[in-house]
Every structure is written in C-alpha cells, then in structure tokens.
Chains A and B, each alone.
Chain A
Amino acid sequence: MDDQDGASAFGFEGSWREFAPIAFTNLLLTIVTLGIYRFWATPRERRYLWSRSRFVDENLEWAGTGKELFIGFLLVLLLFALPFFVISQVAQALVMRGQEALGTILTLGSFLLIFYLAGVARFRALRYRLSRTRWRGIRGGSDNQGFGFGLSYMWKTLVGYVALGLMIPWSMTSLWNERWGKMSFGPYEFQANAESGGVFARFLLFYLSPLIFFVGALVLGAMGMLAGFGVGGEEGAKIGGFVSLLGIALFFYLGLGLIAVVFYAKYYREVVGATQWRDIGFSFEASTGDWIKLLLGDFALVVLTLGIGWIFLSYRHWKFFMVHLEARGEILLDELTQSTTRTATHGEGLLDAFDMGAI
C-alpha cells in the first residue's frame, strides 16, 4: 500500500439522511423497550458509521453485537453495582451503630475501588473498540487485561493533581501512551510517545484564568455601573451592576469552557500525532476553531430541535473524528495478518456503567 499523498487516508462517506432512519427507529425502539434496546441501538449506529468510514481503499466494519453489550452490562451489574450497593449499606449501618471509623474506611475503600475500575474501564473500552473494528477482515485488540493500567491510572491521576495540578498534562499524555502502547491491530502494536511539553503552555491558561476573570469582572462591572448610572442615576447603577454580575457569571463559564477547548484541541493533536502503528503515523488536524464550531453546532442542533437533535450527536462526533484524522506511511498488506489477541465475549459494560466516552 502506497503513501497516499494529497488525498487523506481516512474519509467519511456517510450522510445524515441515511443515518436519520437508523437514529429515529433506535430512539423509538429504545423508548418502547424502556431502554433495553439501547444495547442493540449502539451497534446499529456504529455499524453504519464504521461502514461509511474509509481507510485508504477499504471501509471499516463494526463487528460488535448488541448481545455482548447487554451481557457486559449484566456482568457489571452483578459484579460491581450490586456489591457496591451492599457495601454502602453496610457502611451506613456501621456508622449508625457507632462504628464511624470502620464505616468511613469501608466507604473510602469502595470509592478507591471505583476509581481503580474507572481506569480499567477506559482501557477495556478502547480494547473492545479495536477488537470489534475490522479493516479488510483484520481486527485489533490487546492481550493485556488492563488491570495494571488501572493502577497506573490511579497513581498518575493523583500525582497530576499534586503541585496545583501542574502535572495534569503529564498524567494525561503518559496515560495515553501507556494505553495505546498496549494495543495492537493485526500483528502490529501501536506506539505512542506523546509529550506533555507540547501541551503545557496551553494548560497554563487555566492558571491565568483567575487573573483574566478578575480584570474582566472589574472592567465589566465598572462599565455596567457607569452605563446604568448614566441612564438612571443611583437606581440605574444598581441595575447596571446586577446585569454586569450576570455577564461575569456567563463570562466565567464560557471562559473556562473556552480554555478547556483550547487546551483539548492541542492535546488531541499532540497525542494522536505521537501515535504510530508499524510504519504508519497518525495526525489529527482539527484546530481550536474546528472544535468550537463542532460544539456550537451540537448546542444549536440540540436546542433548536428541542432535544431531538441529540440523537445525531454521535454521528456528528464520529464524522468530525474521521474527517480530521490523517495517516501517513505504508504497510504491506500481505504481512498484515489476523490479530492473535484474545477477544472478550462481552462488551464495554464497565465503561457503560461509568458513562464515559471512548476516544
């Protein structure tokens, strides 16, 4: 397979008109089954999205089934949700009967366990997706169970938050490297060498934010009061001040969100760009502006359709991902043999339970 100069190695050929019947019937069936059809709705959606996604000269395939997602969900319910519920009840009873220390330890312990399982779940969700993705009949996966990653996730996240959160970029990139480094597609492993240095500058924006807000608040507040005073004297100044407060609150949320997007856009370019598969290097070309457009579009779509547009978000996000993903390099198809990784017979139940996104 040759290096595809000019044309992008990844492409998306779907249309929302084709997707709409899938999304609407999924919604309808999910409603009449009280949510149970969700497990079958997800693979239907993905089968469509994957089949309309092209890598070089062949489309992807989603081979996951609803049954395995359902089994995954049941497993999580049985193995984690039920024990957790019992533990929390026991802890409560202990506290009520005067055993505060024991009860607190039990509660803390169960929260630590959830923290750990959240890490394992992130790992397994990626593994599940790769193992159910086919390209030219070949799939990916990992022979790692993700239990070690769960531990890394715990301590690296914790370390990230010490030193005023200055280590967060490091913990994010190093977890990405660790997670992808254990994945493979066909016979070849992925490699990721993302570095936190590249995203650190933008991360510092979070620290500047209080200063920006402070100055912004002063300016906005003064302007609002002056304007109010000009219009209606003392009373006007009060109203103007109130309006300014509203403006500051809005500014705060929008401003913080904006900084998060600015950081995340760079982070995603960095980590995808540092990921390799054999001789193929990946890159992600979405700028901060692209991300903002995506999010504003999402917002408009959901609000203007009174919420129904929500069923199209997965389509929009997948399209965004495929359109901006690029790959460079070459691979010999004859050498690209089937993955020998073990495939789990159940779906991403853990991640479903913690309600997290995948990529």
Chain B
Amino acid sequence: MAKACLTRSTWARSRPVEQGFRTSAQWYDGVTARRHEGEAEWDGSGQLLLHSSDGQSTAVALEDLRYFEKRRDSLVYARDSVADFRLVLPADLPPALDRALPTRGEYGAWIDRMGLGKAIIGFGAISAVAVALFMTAPEWLGPRVPVSWERKMGDAMIGNFGGRLCHTPAADAALAKMQDRIDPAAGDIRVGLANIDMVNAVALPGGQVLMFDGIIQQAESPEELAGVLGHEIGHVRERHVMTALLRQFGLSILLAGANSGLGDTAFGIAAMGYSRDAELEADAYARKQMAKGRVSPLGAAGFFERMAKESGEGESPALIGWIATHPSSRDRAKAYRTSATEGAAYPPVLTKQEFAALKSACKDDPDVEDFDFF
C-alpha cells in the first residue's frame, strides 16, 4: 500500500547528476499521511528533483512552489498544482537556490511588497485621513444630504410629535403672516407650534420649524418671535440642520432615519447644538431678512437682552462669547440693536389680535395633547 501512486505530478526516472546541489528533504503528497523522505536536487534550472529513498523521483517546477511557512530549522513550501502537497527543506539553503525559490511572505502580500515600515506609515496616513474625514463628516456631509431624504426624516419626526402641535385657524394664519414677512419666497418651509413648555424653537430636517409654546408665552412682542423664527429659518436656509443632527447623533442617523429614538423626544432635538459659526450665520440671515421685510430688529434685541439678564450673563466678560460655542446673548442683542435703521418706520409684524391668537393657540386647540418628557 505504501507505494501507491503518490501524486498527479510528473514522474521521472532517477538520473545521476554530478553537479548540482543536494539536500535532505521531506514531502507529503496531500493524498495520504505517508511521509516521503529523500533528497532534493537542484541543478540551477527551474525545477527541483525530489529523489525518494525508495528510488522514485519527482520533478517539481520552482514556479509551481509557493512559500508556506518557516519552522525553527526548516522551510515549508506548498504547490499550486497539487493541493496540500508540502515540501520541507532545511532552512540553510545556498543563496542561489534561496533566490530561485519563491519569496517568503510574513505579514501578507501587500505589506511584504511594501516593507513593514513603509506599510505602517502608509496605512497610518490613510487611517488618519479616514478618521479625520469621519470626524468632520457632519460639516461636509450634512449639506450634501439630498433634500428629499431630509424631508422624509423631518416628516417622520413631525409624525412623532403627533397631536402635540397646536392648531387654530387664527394662530395658523398669524404664523403664516409672520413667516411671509421674513421669508416671502418660502413655499418649502413649514412652521408649526408645539405644545411644549420650553423657551425654545427648533429647525427639523426638511424645512420644518417648530416654535415651542414656552417661547410664545414669554414673548413681549411679535417682533421678538419674528427674530426667533428668522433665526430658525436661517438654519434651514444655510443647511445647518443635518450638520447639527450628524454632530449630535453620529452617522447612524442617516441609516436610522427618524426611528433612532430621537424623533420621539423633543428633548433630543432641543438639545441639538449648532456650531458657533452656524448660530452667527443664522442670526445674520435673520437680520438680513428682517431688514428686507421691514421687521424691527429691536424686538429680537430685547429678547436676547432678557435672556442675558436671566442667565446672569450681564456681569460675565464678553470674552466668554468668543470661547463658548454659543454666542453670548449680550453680543447677539447688540448685533440686533445696531442693525436697526435709525428713524425707519417698521410696520408691526402682527396685529394685537393676531399676537393674542398665537398666545392662546395651545389653550384654544381642543385636540392638542400635553407633552411629557417621560
């Protein structure tokens, strides 16, 4: 049984060769576990002759060999043409044969070709760029998210607010009138009123803007609200919303859409942070649009002054405004105040009745639900 046909490789009769290198060798044929022992002979050509101790010889083309691994004192080669064939040669081969044999791999083909040092530097550089791209993804990816995609997310989020939006015919009309003064072109931005007792307003993806009831209640004039609305519309127009969402919740939000659990908590959206630059841009947009629509910026200035007083910011140095991501309310108030044209006549944004309708919208809407954080 021991001498059964060993391999599918070529067979040759043992032929005496005087010159040439001979070394002890072992090989397995990949068919049985029997070990073949004998000598490997190399005459400088492109093949090795394996002389088995029982007198058989096998020719193996060098280019058919593939480096497999290094053991402590030996090298192991496989063959491409014969599965699981293994040739074990001593590690101290003459340099000429060593060069003729396939090169030894260690780390994997790419890295072996490059060399370890270069590979580490190269991969390190690529990884650094990848990490940087990933970390800055909100900034460059946010404005590039397709509008239709953004709109779908916004619709889903509004859906999660459910019946907590306050609607009365008078309030809806007042909101629409205010929006028309600031952003007359706006057919694509939808403004709503949410029954949430927080002094806040948010811009959702897809051009949805929500004013919270809390900010409506504390407003002393419709011009204040116009300033806030202009600011939020500014975020929409300057395409800050996706960037802020990406910053807050990571790239997963693009996959998860509105179902990542953030949509159902207004808290999550209210906590959404814009960069300092984005806030200033939105403010600038609001002032520009208010000037165009002849809306007095003094209301907004008054609002920020009140915010500054409430947070005790009045005494802190203005320098903080440059450090904190959020521009200081005091600086913002000043910017609004100085943007007012002296002696200009600003027609009121809303009539007294319209302003009152806004204030009582959430009380008057019989179907609206209360908002609970938990």
Question: Footprint of B on A, CB under 8 Å?
Answer: 13, 25, 28-29, 32-34, 37, 40, 44, 47, 51-52, 58-59, 61, 63, 66, 85, 89, 92-93, 96, 134-139, 186, 333-338
Contacts and interface: CB of A to CB of B under 8 A. Distances in A.
B34 A333 contact: yes
Nearest to A89: B259
Nearest to B84: A137
A338 B84 contact: yes
B218 to A, nearest CB: 31
B25 interface: no
A32 B256 contact: no
Given A51-B69, A89-B256, A137 B107 contact: no
17 contacts: A25-B107, A25-B116, A29-B111, A32-B120, A33-B123, A40-B107, A61-B69, A89-B256, A96-B160, A136-B28, A137-B28, A137-B84, A138-B28, A333-B34, A334-B4, A335-B1, A338-B31
Contacts of A34: 127, 130-131
A32 to B, nearest CB: 4
Contacts of A93: 259
Interface residues of B, number: 39
A59 B107 CA distance: 22
A137 B83 CA distance: 9
Contacts of A138: 28, 32-33, 84
A286 to B, nearest CB: 26
**5 closest A-B pairs by CB:** A137-B28, A336-B33, A136-B33, A32-B124, A32-B123
B334 to A, nearest CB: 44
Given A40-B108, A96-B160, A337-B31, A61 B127 contact: no
B106 to A, nearest CB: 8
A47 B69 contact: yes
B97 interface: no
A40 B165 CA distance: 55
B232 interface: no
A64 to B, nearest CB: 12
Given A44-B108, A51-B69, A61-B69, 7 more contacts: A32-B123, A61-B86, A93-B259, A137-B31, A333-B35, A335-B1, A335-B32
B280 to A, nearest CB: 35
Contacts of B68: 61
B147 to A, nearest CB: 22
Contacts of B29: 137
Given A44-B107, A66-B108, A134 B86 contact: yes
Contact of B32 (A13, A85, A333): A333
Contacts of A33: 123, 127
Contacts of B259: 89, 92-93, 96
Given A29-B123, A34-B130, A334-B32, A51 B84 contact: no
B34 A334 contact: yes
B292 interface: no
B115 interface: no
Nearest to B4: A334
A32 B264 CA distance: 39
A44 B2 CA distance: 34
Given A51-B71, A66-B108, A134 B124 contact: no
Contacts of A32: 120, 123-124, 127
B85 interface: yes
Please indicate which of the listed interface residues B31, B108, B131, B256 has the most CB atoms of chain A within 10 Å of its own CB: B108
Contacts of A13: 72
B119 interface: yes
Contacts of B127: 32-34
Given A29-B111, A66-B108, A338-B84, A136 B35 contact: yes
A344 to B, nearest CB: 15
A84 to B, nearest CB: 13
B219 interface: no
B90 interface: no
Contact of A29 (B28, B84, B107): B107
Contacts of A89: 256-257, 259-260
A29 B69 contact: no
A2 B7 CA distance: 26
Contacts of B119: 29
Contact of B35 (A58, A66, A96): A58
Interface string B338-356: 0000000000000000000
A29 B71 CA distance: 23
Contacts of A28: 120
Contacts of A338: 30-32, 84
Interface string B1-39: 110100000000000000000000000111111110000
Nearest to A334: B1
A14 to B, nearest CB: 9
A44 B124 CA distance: 20
B185 to A, nearest CB: 34
Contact of B30 (A52, A96, A137, A333): A137
Nearest to B131: A34
B120 A29 contact: yes
A37 B110 CA distance: 11
Contacts of A61: 68-69, 76, 86
